[in-house]
Structure 1
């Protein structure tokens, strides 16, 4: 018999605790279309993880997805090779994936991709971590090796979670997939904390009365690093991450995360309806290429007309839209009837986090060299309150080049470098890191031009990922539940939103996958299909799992 202590934690999101991983694995499949609909074209806008997941599963159901992509397949799963060294990549977007992301790992495993532990601060696989805070440096291999104040902060966080958010109860319910308990506790927390920021939650917790403790927690945090850039956001956003272990036991994909959406584009499923064996998404597209960027969406009697940059226009009975929802405001000329007024308001209110990264390729993992006298590594995974904020080290072996993420920053820290070129950023970062490691010459080891990104200035993205501010739960609920269209006016059906910013766990590829599966169920239902009775989908169980509704008036 499985107990809460032996069952694994999954990203079973408490707002809508549907077991997508079980739905995917069931031998009955995701559903079946009525006769006569096989081969029907369905537009899928966006070739990131959500778009490719939706397109892949729609193909397996026997439909013909027509994929539109403005740039390159992958979206924010963007793995950029270093010039002259294509075997080494910089992960510009998603780079670490929690083992709890069971639906995402369904596809990672399907493609046979290899993973390894991500070198997070103080993780078991990370040789050492250096914390540089207020000019004082501490190096440790485990949390126990840090000064007592860091343990005090960790204890304060645990105490706040247990006393104010019933951490143990929720974690146990998630492990056991005890939906009744999970919904009872979470719905109460939503009502209590929707209007409270993350910082407000800390500041009103008895365990965090010390500003020093809040400052350390903001700069250092636990698990994946500091949390202060999330301080203005709704505390519900943070609780979802903590409850589902999304910030723990994280893995990186060998060879780059872009292999996942790219792999789904070329993968030939063993089991699929209608299409002959050997069919892939690429083979269903002329020249194996997606259609160009969508420029216009209009309602027509037959469904929705999609126009693209080439000037071509085609009508579809259903459209799945996966890019950031802001693209509907400024990149695509949209028919107002595409969404309800409430959904448009939610799109307008969407709040995105910014993020910047800078990577360099070095001749070898020199950070493993030993300091004279101490015998410690000359460099460590680094958390600092200076401009770099987070430094991550990727070791490919002692005689091979290594990859360094010299800076990973969010929001205000990201904007500090947004107007700088890659070269200018590198110079600034090297100067700041020289203050932390005065005896280490990083520059002498760099063997390729730096690679960098700022997601808020990327014109097709305008941000790294969504994160709700206090009071925005109602907007998130509207976007997430938009795939349920049976109660809508007939003129508003057939257009399905998905992507991690539509999910309850924005910024995680798991949310992109699960909302894509919602859209797949939506299209299946819209075209008159149905799931197998032994394997109900998210829409079939929606009313018993639905997110709690908060009063509006």
Structure 2
């Protein structure tokens, strides 16, 4: 497994060690055992938090507005025997030790993801401005591509001291890591990814064409131009934590991890043997949460879509932050105004995917004229952007992600149905593979997703803009509630959009665990001395604080 782990850098807490410690995550007062805790959202953050809270002796009550699983959405093709399209998360870096802890716990099997220029892909085709290159490794591509890879490595070394950061992170040297990382926060929070590239001496030795190629096909998993407007801190975390390296897919679909956790029967405090989240919830989640408020005693009132009102001492919100103002009638007094600013200003990126099932993995056939596979993993500046091939075995149907696109490229197909998107993708691929009849191999109906069009998501994942560090800090640290007024305590936040690492399931896992500690503390419990939790170490090694500007009197 990758030596790099998702340890920090903003808050270098060893979540993987915490959840594996045989002492457990903590202990509640006996009179709190069985206390109901509401959890809004049955995605990664919601299910992981519910699972750990149940083990502590609480009764998690799950509310779900749409489909169980959130963005771990594995859709089975009609007429197939479990052949899936991963509509949301589909590649999991092995540095995500928290996520892999739960994958391993429930027996999910993984294998390398067929990313460009990896052995799992077999071969890669890069098609830019009508020029097509076939490659099995970086060395097979023209010199410009190697120049780009070397320039990016040099830019990271020159501008942020990347090798030293990597060494500190791999050694889990907390003091050294924070000493290196914290100064970078102020330096790069208000600068974009493109600024980092264009302003580097390494890329300055090359012309615009090199930056253009970098944006179109990039490094690791593909092109990065959709992230060019983002804060450079967002990209640095992805690079440093190894999120773009050594990625795996989950055989049979990643959604099964959450379904297995839902039905798992772990050893629990208070609850009898064979207790599961499913059994505590009567076999099904509650309906959509539509309102949050306080009662006279200071407890939280949660109303579902059918008008049912329940009272809770603690509520965990794991849905996208914008739903707190657009879909859930939330009492403003539950959060202070700076937190509301952060929640409302969180910026989500768009993403679109189109999948088809094929009769077999025909792309493994060799072209007699070239001796190469007839179809390869493909990166292009055409509408499809990224095309991925999933081989389920020679005797099973294959799956092609015809197109995976972000931001503007995702918006181009937003009004179109699945068939229209598939037809556009096939037309684009025909320009790259003029002799290959992909359509002849397609079986059943295509599947597509645009997360920004889903009322329960309003976007695929967070993408912090320059200047958003303070916002992220506010929502990430919201689980530390001891200094909040009583009127704002008891409602917690989790999810990858609350984390420092949006778009990655590990961020959802880690913020879920923060919330578990927060709820444990809120209900009078605590971590054990031999296994301190994130809130115990947060005051010492928490994220660096950037000073808020003093407001002008004109705005007071």
Q: What runs of 5+ residues in structure 1 fail to find an aligned partner?
A: 1-5
1:212 corresponds in structure 2 to 209
For residue 396 of structure 1, report the CA deviation from its aligned partner: 1.2
Counterpart pick for 2:314 among 314, 318, 330: 318
2:476 is the counterpart of 1:511:
no
2:66 aligned with 1:66: no
- Secondary structure of 2:82's counterpart equals strand
8 Å contact kept, 1:44–1:67: yes
The 8 Å contact of residues 26 and 56 in structure 2, kept in 1 or not, is answered as yes
Give the distance between the partners of 2:40 and 2:92, measured in 1 at CA: 24
Match runs of 1:97-176 below 5 Å: 97-176=92-171
Aligned 1:257-272 pairs, distance under 5 A: 257-269=254-266, 271-272=267-268
Matches within 5 A, 1:28-427: 28-209=23-204, 210-269=207-266, 271-286=267-282, 288-300=283-295, 301-427=297-423
Q: Given the two structures, how large is their TM-score scaled by the length of structure 2?
A: 0.97
Distance 2:316 2:300 in 1: 11
- Give TM-score scaled by structure 1 length: 0.98
1:3 paired residue number: none
Q: CA deviation at 1:86?
A: 4.3
1:456 CA drift (Å) = 0.7
Deviations 1:356-380 (A, max 9, x none): 0000000011111111221000110
Aligned residues: 546
What is the CA deviation profile of residues 249-286 of structure 1, one whole-angstrom value per residue up to 9, with x for unaligned ones? 000000101011111111110x2100011100000112
Moved segments of 4+, more than 4 Å: none
Q: Aligned-pair distance for 1:7?
A: 8.4
Superposition RMSD on alpha carbons, in Å?
0.9
Cα distance in 1 for partners of 2:494, 2:2 equals 29
SS in 2 for 1:85: coil
Post-superposition offset of 1:399: 2.4
8 Å contact kept, 1:103–1:510: yes
Would you say the 8 A contact 1:362–1:403 is kept in 2? Answer: yes
CA distance in 2, matches of 1:172, 1:186: 12
Alpha carbons 2:386, 2:402 under 8 Å: kept: yes
Unaligned runs of 5+ in 2: 550-556
| CA distance in structure 1 between the partners assigned to 2:434 and 2:306 by the alignment | 54
Q: Secondary structure of the residue that 1:256 maps to in structure 2?
A: coil
Looking at structure 1, the residues matched to 81 and 504 of structure 2 have their Cα atoms a distance apart, in angstroms, of 26
Do the aligned residues in 1 keep the contact of 2:298 with 2:487 (CA within 8 Å)? no
Secondary structure at the counterpart of residue 388 of structure 2: strand
SS of match in other structure, 1:540: helix
User: Offset of 1:124 from its aligned partner?
Assistant: 2.3
